Amino acid sequence: MNSEISDVEILELGVRGKEISSPWSSTMLLVKLTTKDGTVGYGEAPTTLMTLPVLESMKEVERIFKGANPFNVEKNIRDFYRNSFYLSRSMEATSALSAFEIASWDLIGKELGAPVYDLLGGTFHSKIRAYANGWYDDCMTADDFLKKAKEVVKMGFTAMKFDPFGDNYDTITKEGIDNARDIVGTLRAELGDKVDLLIECHGRFSTPAAVKAGMALDEFSPLFMEEPVHPELEVGLSEFKKYVLTPVALGERVLNKRDFARLISQGLVDTIQPDLTNSLGILEAKKTAAIADAFGVPVAFHNAFGPVQTAASLNVDVTLTNFLIQESFEKFWPDWKQNLVKSGYKLNNGYFELSGKPGLGIEVDQKIEEDHKVEGMEPFDPREPPWVVSGTFAKKESSK
Protein backbone atom coordinates (compact mmCIF):
# COMPACT_ATOMS: atom_id res chain seq x y z
CA MET A 1 0.00 0.00 0.00
CA ASN A 2 1.27 3.46 -0.90
CA SER A 3 0.32 5.21 2.34
CA GLU A 4 2.11 7.95 4.21
CA ILE A 5 1.66 9.56 7.64
CA SER A 6 1.31 13.24 6.84
CA ASP A 7 0.27 14.65 10.22
CA VAL A 8 1.01 13.80 13.85
CA GLU A 9 -0.91 15.25 16.80
CA ILE A 10 0.10 14.43 20.36
CA LEU A 11 -2.69 14.97 22.89
CA GLU A 12 -2.75 15.15 26.67
CA LEU A 13 -6.29 14.75 27.96
CA GLY A 14 -7.71 14.88 31.46
CA VAL A 15 -9.13 16.99 34.22
CA ARG A 16 -7.49 18.75 37.08
CA GLY A 17 -7.80 17.24 40.54
CA LYS A 18 -7.65 13.67 41.75
CA GLU A 19 -10.16 11.19 40.39
CA ILE A 20 -11.56 8.35 42.42
CA SER A 21 -10.26 5.34 40.48
CA SER A 22 -6.58 6.13 41.04
CA PRO A 23 -4.29 9.14 41.34
CA TRP A 24 -2.88 8.61 37.84
CA SER A 25 -6.20 8.29 36.02
CA SER A 26 -6.66 12.03 35.59
CA THR A 27 -4.40 12.25 32.51
CA MET A 28 -4.22 10.37 29.21
CA LEU A 29 -1.68 10.56 26.40
CA LEU A 30 -2.89 9.91 22.86
CA VAL A 31 -1.26 10.16 19.46
CA LYS A 32 -3.40 10.92 16.43
CA LEU A 33 -1.84 9.92 13.10
CA THR A 34 -3.35 11.13 9.83
CA THR A 35 -2.42 9.85 6.38
CA LYS A 36 -2.39 11.83 3.12
CA ASP A 37 -5.84 10.48 2.23
CA GLY A 38 -7.27 11.69 5.58
CA THR A 39 -7.42 8.35 7.43
CA VAL A 40 -6.95 8.82 11.19
CA GLY A 41 -5.44 6.32 13.62
CA TYR A 42 -5.18 6.55 17.41
CA GLY A 43 -2.63 5.18 19.86
CA GLU A 44 -2.20 5.57 23.60
CA ALA A 45 0.74 5.85 26.00
CA PRO A 46 0.78 5.46 29.81
CA THR A 47 1.32 8.23 32.35
CA THR A 48 1.86 7.20 36.05
CA LEU A 49 4.04 10.10 37.19
CA MET A 50 5.82 10.30 33.82
CA THR A 51 3.32 12.20 31.67
CA LEU A 52 5.66 14.92 30.46
CA PRO A 53 8.72 12.67 29.92
CA VAL A 54 6.59 10.34 27.76
CA LEU A 55 5.07 13.28 25.90
CA GLU A 56 8.55 14.59 25.08
CA SER A 57 9.60 11.09 23.94
CA MET A 58 6.57 11.02 21.65
CA LYS A 59 7.99 14.08 19.90
CA GLU A 60 11.18 12.11 19.28
CA VAL A 61 9.23 9.17 17.85
CA GLU A 62 7.34 11.59 15.59
CA ARG A 63 10.59 12.31 13.74
CA ILE A 64 10.69 8.66 12.62
CA PHE A 65 7.01 8.17 11.84
CA LYS A 66 6.05 11.40 10.13
CA GLY A 67 6.34 10.74 6.41
CA ALA A 68 6.67 7.00 6.97
CA ASN A 69 4.41 4.26 5.64
CA PRO A 70 2.32 2.95 8.57
CA PHE A 71 2.22 -0.51 6.97
CA ASN A 72 5.96 -0.86 7.59
CA VAL A 73 5.49 -1.63 11.27
CA GLU A 74 8.68 -3.66 11.69
CA LYS A 75 10.82 -1.15 9.79
CA ASN A 76 9.49 1.88 11.66
CA ILE A 77 10.01 0.19 15.03
CA ARG A 78 13.54 -0.82 14.07
CA ASP A 79 14.37 2.67 12.78
CA PHE A 80 13.55 4.14 16.18
CA TYR A 81 15.28 1.26 18.01
CA ARG A 82 18.47 2.01 16.06
CA ASN A 83 18.38 5.68 17.06
CA SER A 84 17.13 5.36 20.66
CA PHE A 85 20.24 4.33 22.58
CA TYR A 86 18.42 3.54 25.84
CA LEU A 87 15.20 2.13 24.37
CA SER A 88 15.48 -1.31 25.93
CA ARG A 89 15.60 0.20 29.43
CA SER A 90 13.58 3.39 28.95
CA MET A 91 9.89 3.06 29.69
CA GLU A 92 9.42 6.63 28.47
CA ALA A 93 10.84 5.72 25.06
CA THR A 94 9.06 2.36 24.72
CA SER A 95 5.79 3.96 25.82
CA ALA A 96 6.07 6.70 23.23
CA LEU A 97 6.94 4.19 20.51
CA SER A 98 4.08 1.88 21.54
CA ALA A 99 1.51 4.64 21.03
CA PHE A 100 2.69 5.19 17.45
CA GLU A 101 2.75 1.44 16.77
CA ILE A 102 -0.83 1.02 17.99
CA ALA A 103 -1.98 4.01 15.92
CA SER A 104 -0.28 2.48 12.88
CA TRP A 105 -2.38 -0.68 13.23
CA ASP A 106 -5.51 1.45 13.54
CA LEU A 107 -4.55 3.07 10.23
CA ILE A 108 -3.69 -0.26 8.58
CA GLY A 109 -7.03 -1.79 9.53
CA LYS A 110 -8.96 1.23 8.29
CA GLU A 111 -7.02 1.32 5.03
CA LEU A 112 -7.80 -2.38 4.44
CA GLY A 113 -11.36 -2.22 5.80
CA ALA A 114 -10.63 -4.92 8.40
CA PRO A 115 -10.47 -5.08 12.20
CA VAL A 116 -6.93 -5.44 13.54
CA TYR A 117 -7.66 -8.89 14.93
CA ASP A 118 -8.38 -10.22 11.43
CA LEU A 119 -4.88 -9.10 10.43
CA LEU A 120 -3.40 -11.03 13.38
CA GLY A 121 -4.95 -14.41 12.64
CA GLY A 122 -8.65 -13.88 13.27
CA THR A 123 -10.79 -14.64 16.30
CA PHE A 124 -10.19 -17.55 18.61
CA HIS A 125 -12.55 -16.12 21.27
CA SER A 126 -15.96 -14.56 20.63
CA LYS A 127 -15.94 -12.71 23.96
CA ILE A 128 -13.31 -11.84 26.54
CA ARG A 129 -13.62 -12.44 30.26
CA ALA A 130 -12.70 -9.36 32.30
CA TYR A 131 -11.63 -8.81 35.86
CA ALA A 132 -12.51 -5.62 37.68
CA ASN A 133 -9.89 -3.20 38.96
CA GLY A 134 -10.14 0.32 40.35
CA TRP A 135 -13.25 -0.64 42.31
CA TYR A 136 -11.86 -0.45 45.85
CA ASP A 137 -11.09 3.24 46.34
CA ASP A 138 -11.14 4.29 50.02
CA CYS A 139 -11.12 0.65 51.19
CA MET A 140 -9.00 -0.03 54.26
CA THR A 141 -10.80 -2.76 56.21
CA ALA A 142 -12.32 -6.11 55.30
CA ASP A 143 -15.81 -4.63 55.64
CA ASP A 144 -14.88 -1.80 53.27
CA PHE A 145 -13.66 -4.26 50.65
CA LEU A 146 -16.61 -6.61 51.04
CA LYS A 147 -19.21 -3.88 50.60
CA LYS A 148 -17.71 -2.76 47.29
CA ALA A 149 -16.85 -6.28 46.14
CA LYS A 150 -20.53 -7.22 46.34
CA GLU A 151 -21.30 -4.27 44.03
CA VAL A 152 -18.70 -5.56 41.57
CA VAL A 153 -20.33 -8.99 41.55
CA LYS A 154 -23.71 -7.37 40.88
CA MET A 155 -22.17 -5.81 37.76
CA GLY A 156 -21.57 -9.32 36.44
CA PHE A 157 -17.85 -9.67 37.10
CA THR A 158 -16.61 -13.12 38.11
CA ALA A 159 -13.11 -11.92 38.97
CA MET A 160 -11.60 -8.91 40.72
CA LYS A 161 -8.12 -7.68 41.55
CA PHE A 162 -7.19 -5.68 44.60
CA ASP A 163 -4.30 -4.65 46.83
CA PRO A 164 -4.93 -5.64 50.47
CA PHE A 165 -1.56 -4.46 51.86
CA GLY A 166 -2.34 -0.86 52.87
CA ASP A 167 0.77 1.23 53.50
CA ASN A 168 3.18 -1.68 53.92
CA TYR A 169 6.15 -1.12 51.66
CA ASP A 170 9.34 -3.17 51.26
CA THR A 171 8.64 -4.93 54.56
CA ILE A 172 5.33 -6.06 56.04
CA THR A 173 4.27 -5.99 59.67
CA LYS A 174 2.32 -8.67 61.54
CA GLU A 175 -0.59 -6.23 61.55
CA GLY A 176 -0.22 -5.90 57.78
CA ILE A 177 -0.29 -9.68 57.34
CA ASP A 178 -3.30 -10.04 59.63
CA ASN A 179 -5.22 -7.28 57.85
CA ALA A 180 -4.47 -8.73 54.40
CA ARG A 181 -5.62 -12.19 55.58
CA ASP A 182 -8.77 -10.66 57.00
CA ILE A 183 -9.58 -8.86 53.74
CA VAL A 184 -8.86 -11.77 51.40
CA GLY A 185 -10.37 -14.35 53.74
CA THR A 186 -13.56 -12.34 54.13
CA LEU A 187 -14.00 -11.98 50.37
CA ARG A 188 -13.35 -15.67 49.80
CA ALA A 189 -15.82 -16.70 52.52
CA GLU A 190 -18.55 -14.28 51.44
CA LEU A 191 -18.19 -14.46 47.65
CA GLY A 192 -17.40 -18.17 47.41
CA ASP A 193 -15.29 -20.06 44.90
CA LYS A 194 -17.14 -18.80 41.82
CA VAL A 195 -15.37 -15.44 42.03
CA ASP A 196 -11.66 -15.35 41.26
CA LEU A 197 -9.57 -13.18 43.57
CA LEU A 198 -6.40 -11.65 42.09
CA ILE A 199 -3.89 -10.20 44.54
CA GLU A 200 -2.05 -7.03 43.57
CA CYS A 201 1.30 -6.38 45.27
CA HIS A 202 2.37 -3.50 43.02
CA GLY A 203 5.99 -4.73 43.12
CA ARG A 204 6.30 -3.27 46.61
CA PHE A 205 8.02 -6.05 48.62
CA SER A 206 11.48 -7.34 49.34
CA THR A 207 11.76 -11.10 48.85
CA PRO A 208 11.31 -12.08 52.56
CA ALA A 209 8.24 -9.83 52.88
CA ALA A 210 6.75 -11.18 49.65
CA VAL A 211 7.22 -14.75 50.86
CA LYS A 212 5.45 -13.92 54.15
CA ALA A 213 2.55 -12.28 52.32
CA GLY A 214 2.25 -15.07 49.78
CA MET A 215 2.31 -17.88 52.34
CA ALA A 216 -0.29 -16.06 54.42
CA LEU A 217 -2.74 -15.84 51.49
CA ASP A 218 -2.13 -19.22 49.81
CA GLU A 219 -5.05 -20.90 51.58
CA PHE A 220 -7.53 -18.55 49.88
CA SER A 221 -6.51 -19.85 46.42
CA PRO A 222 -5.94 -16.57 44.53
CA LEU A 223 -5.87 -16.86 40.75
CA PHE A 224 -2.47 -15.20 40.91
CA MET A 225 -0.31 -12.83 42.94
CA GLU A 226 0.91 -9.92 40.83
CA GLU A 227 4.41 -8.45 41.11
CA PRO A 228 5.19 -9.86 44.56
CA VAL A 229 8.74 -8.42 44.64
CA HIS A 230 10.31 -5.15 43.55
CA PRO A 231 10.67 -5.33 39.75
CA GLU A 232 14.46 -5.10 39.84
CA LEU A 233 14.61 -8.02 42.30
CA GLU A 234 13.51 -10.66 39.80
CA VAL A 235 16.07 -13.06 41.32
CA GLY A 236 13.76 -13.12 44.36
CA LEU A 237 10.97 -14.71 42.33
CA SER A 238 12.79 -18.04 42.42
CA GLU A 239 12.90 -17.92 46.22
CA PHE A 240 9.26 -16.79 46.36
CA LYS A 241 8.14 -19.75 44.25
CA LYS A 242 9.88 -22.22 46.59
CA TYR A 243 7.48 -21.34 49.39
CA VAL A 244 4.32 -19.91 47.80
CA LEU A 245 1.80 -22.00 45.84
CA THR A 246 -0.12 -19.08 44.31
CA PRO A 247 0.93 -18.48 40.68
CA VAL A 248 3.11 -15.43 39.97
CA ALA A 249 1.90 -12.85 37.44
CA LEU A 250 3.95 -9.91 36.21
CA GLY A 251 4.80 -7.89 33.15
CA GLU A 252 3.50 -4.33 33.25
CA ARG A 253 7.10 -3.10 33.65
CA VAL A 254 8.69 -5.57 31.22
CA LEU A 255 9.36 -3.71 27.98
CA ASN A 256 9.95 -6.25 25.20
CA LYS A 257 9.64 -9.88 24.14
CA ARG A 258 13.29 -10.67 24.89
CA ASP A 259 12.98 -9.78 28.57
CA PHE A 260 9.74 -11.77 28.75
CA ALA A 261 11.48 -14.74 27.11
CA ARG A 262 14.17 -14.68 29.80
CA LEU A 263 11.66 -14.59 32.67
CA ILE A 264 9.48 -17.29 31.11
CA SER A 265 12.31 -19.66 30.20
CA GLN A 266 13.75 -19.40 33.72
CA GLY A 267 10.40 -20.40 35.21
CA LEU A 268 10.02 -17.17 37.17
CA VAL A 269 6.50 -16.27 36.00
CA ASP A 270 3.28 -18.27 35.62
CA THR A 271 1.11 -15.64 33.90
CA ILE A 272 2.52 -12.79 31.83
CA GLN A 273 0.97 -9.32 31.82
CA PRO A 274 2.49 -7.27 29.01
CA ASP A 275 1.19 -3.73 28.65
CA LEU A 276 0.68 -2.89 24.97
CA THR A 277 1.24 0.80 25.71
CA ASN A 278 4.79 0.39 27.00
CA SER A 279 6.12 -2.87 25.49
CA LEU A 280 6.23 -1.85 21.80
CA GLY A 281 2.58 -2.30 20.92
CA ILE A 282 0.39 -4.81 19.13
CA LEU A 283 2.83 -6.84 17.04
CA GLU A 284 5.28 -7.24 19.93
CA ALA A 285 2.35 -8.36 22.11
CA LYS A 286 1.46 -11.07 19.61
CA LYS A 287 5.09 -12.24 19.47
CA THR A 288 5.40 -12.21 23.25
CA ALA A 289 2.22 -14.26 23.59
CA ALA A 290 3.65 -16.80 21.15
CA ILE A 291 6.80 -17.16 23.26
CA ALA A 292 4.64 -17.68 26.35
CA ASP A 293 2.50 -20.23 24.53
CA ALA A 294 5.59 -22.27 23.73
CA PHE A 295 6.11 -22.68 27.48
CA GLY A 296 2.45 -23.19 28.38
CA VAL A 297 2.20 -19.76 30.02
CA PRO A 298 -1.09 -17.80 29.74
CA VAL A 299 -1.48 -14.09 28.95
CA ALA A 300 -3.45 -11.47 30.88
CA PHE A 301 -2.60 -8.04 29.46
CA HIS A 302 -2.10 -5.15 31.86
CA ASN A 303 -4.70 -2.51 30.95
CA ALA A 304 -4.98 0.41 33.33
CA PHE A 305 -5.13 3.60 31.30
CA GLY A 306 -7.78 4.41 28.70
CA PRO A 307 -10.17 3.12 26.03
CA VAL A 308 -7.66 3.19 23.16
CA GLN A 309 -5.44 0.86 25.16
CA THR A 310 -8.42 -1.37 25.91
CA ALA A 311 -9.39 -1.60 22.24
CA ALA A 312 -5.81 -2.49 21.28
CA SER A 313 -5.54 -5.14 24.00
CA LEU A 314 -8.85 -6.73 23.05
CA ASN A 315 -7.87 -6.93 19.39
CA VAL A 316 -4.96 -9.12 20.45
CA ASP A 317 -6.87 -11.01 23.17
CA VAL A 318 -9.40 -12.48 20.77
CA THR A 319 -6.64 -14.03 18.66
CA LEU A 320 -4.73 -15.79 21.46
CA THR A 321 -4.96 -19.49 22.22
CA ASN A 322 -3.29 -18.84 25.59
CA PHE A 323 -5.47 -15.89 26.69
CA LEU A 324 -6.41 -16.01 30.39
CA ILE A 325 -8.32 -12.90 31.48
CA GLN A 326 -8.39 -9.14 30.76
CA GLU A 327 -7.93 -6.33 33.27
CA SER A 328 -10.69 -3.70 33.19
CA PHE A 329 -11.07 -0.32 34.91
CA GLU A 330 -13.90 0.71 32.57
CA LYS A 331 -16.77 0.70 35.07
CA PHE A 332 -14.80 2.81 37.51
CA TRP A 333 -13.51 5.53 35.20
CA PRO A 334 -14.78 9.13 35.40
CA ASP A 335 -17.57 9.92 32.94
CA TRP A 336 -15.39 11.77 30.41
CA LYS A 337 -13.12 8.77 30.00
CA GLN A 338 -16.03 6.31 29.78
CA ASN A 339 -17.54 8.39 26.97
CA LEU A 340 -14.38 9.32 25.07
CA VAL A 341 -14.77 6.37 22.70
CA LYS A 342 -18.22 5.93 21.20
CA SER A 343 -17.75 2.51 19.64
CA GLY A 344 -15.29 -0.32 19.35
CA TYR A 345 -16.12 -2.57 22.26
CA LYS A 346 -18.72 -3.21 24.93
CA LEU A 347 -18.39 -4.52 28.46
CA ASN A 348 -21.48 -6.33 29.72
CA ASN A 349 -21.80 -8.72 32.67
CA GLY A 350 -18.06 -9.04 33.05
CA TYR A 351 -17.28 -9.82 29.40
CA PHE A 352 -15.94 -7.70 26.54
CA GLU A 353 -17.15 -7.93 22.96
CA LEU A 354 -15.62 -6.15 19.96
CA SER A 355 -17.62 -4.27 17.33
CA GLY A 356 -15.81 -5.76 14.34
CA LYS A 357 -15.29 -2.33 12.79
CA PRO A 358 -12.06 -1.63 10.86
CA GLY A 359 -8.82 -0.84 12.67
CA LEU A 360 -9.15 -0.76 16.43
CA GLY A 361 -12.88 -0.32 15.84
CA ILE A 362 -13.08 2.89 17.84
CA GLU A 363 -14.63 6.27 17.16
CA VAL A 364 -13.31 9.05 19.38
CA ASP A 365 -15.74 11.75 20.52
CA GLN A 366 -14.15 14.91 19.12
CA LYS A 367 -15.94 17.23 21.55
CA ILE A 368 -14.71 15.32 24.61
CA GLU A 369 -11.24 15.21 23.07
CA GLU A 370 -11.25 18.97 22.57
CA ASP A 371 -12.86 19.85 25.92
CA HIS A 372 -10.39 17.75 27.93
CA LYS A 373 -7.08 18.92 26.53
CA VAL A 374 -4.74 19.73 29.41
CA GLU A 375 -1.07 20.46 29.98
CA GLY A 376 1.39 19.51 32.69
CA MET A 377 2.04 16.61 35.02
CA GLU A 378 -0.70 14.57 36.59
CA PRO A 379 -1.72 15.37 40.20
CA PHE A 380 0.68 14.36 42.97
CA ASP A 381 -0.22 13.37 46.52
CA PRO A 382 2.78 13.06 48.86
CA ARG A 383 0.80 10.77 51.16
CA GLU A 384 0.08 8.12 48.53
CA PRO A 385 2.22 6.72 45.71
CA PRO A 386 0.76 7.27 42.22
CA TRP A 387 0.43 3.53 41.60
CA VAL A 388 -2.20 2.78 44.24
CA VAL A 389 -5.97 3.00 44.03
CA SER A 390 -7.00 6.19 45.76
CA GLY A 391 -7.56 6.05 49.51
CA THR A 392 -6.02 2.61 50.09
CA PHE A 393 -2.49 3.56 51.16
CA ALA A 394 -3.09 6.54 53.42
CA LYS A 395 -6.19 7.20 55.44
CA LYS A 396 -8.00 10.31 54.29
CA GLU A 397 -8.17 13.21 56.69
CA SER A 398 -11.63 13.62 58.10
CA SER A 399 -13.39 16.83 57.16
CA LYS A 400 -14.05 19.25 59.96
Catalytic residues: 202, 302
Phi, psi of 351 (to 5 degrees): -135, 140
CA atoms within 13 A on the CB side of 258: 3
User: Are 27 and 372 within 8 A, CB to CB?
Assistant: no
C-alpha to C-alpha distance for 285 and 109, rounded to whole angstroms: 17
C-alpha to C-alpha distance for 276 and 201, rounded to whole angstroms: 21
CB atoms within 10 A of CB 185: 16
Q: What residue type is 4 in one-letter code?
A: E
User: Mapped to the 3 state alphabet, what secondary structure does the chain carry?
Assistant: CCCCEEEEEEEEEECCCCCCCCHHHHEEEEEEEEECCCCEEEEEECCCCCHHHHHHHHHHHHHHHCCCCCCCHHHHHHHHHHHCCCHHHCHHHHHHHHHHHHHHHHHHHHHHCCEHHHHCCCCCCCCEEEEECCCCCCCCCHHHHHHHHHHHHHCCCCEEEECCCCCCCECCCHHHHHHHHHHHHHHHHHHCCCCEEEEECCCCECHHHHHHHHHHHHHHCCCEEECCECCCCCCHHHHHHHHCCCCEEECCCCCCHHHHHHHHHCCCCCEECCCCCCCCHHHHHHHHHHHHHHCCCCECCCCCCCHHHHHHHHHHHCCCCCECCEEECHHHCCHHHHHCECCCEEEECCEEEECCCCECCCCECHHHHHHCECCCCCCCCCCCCCCCCCCCCCCCCCCC
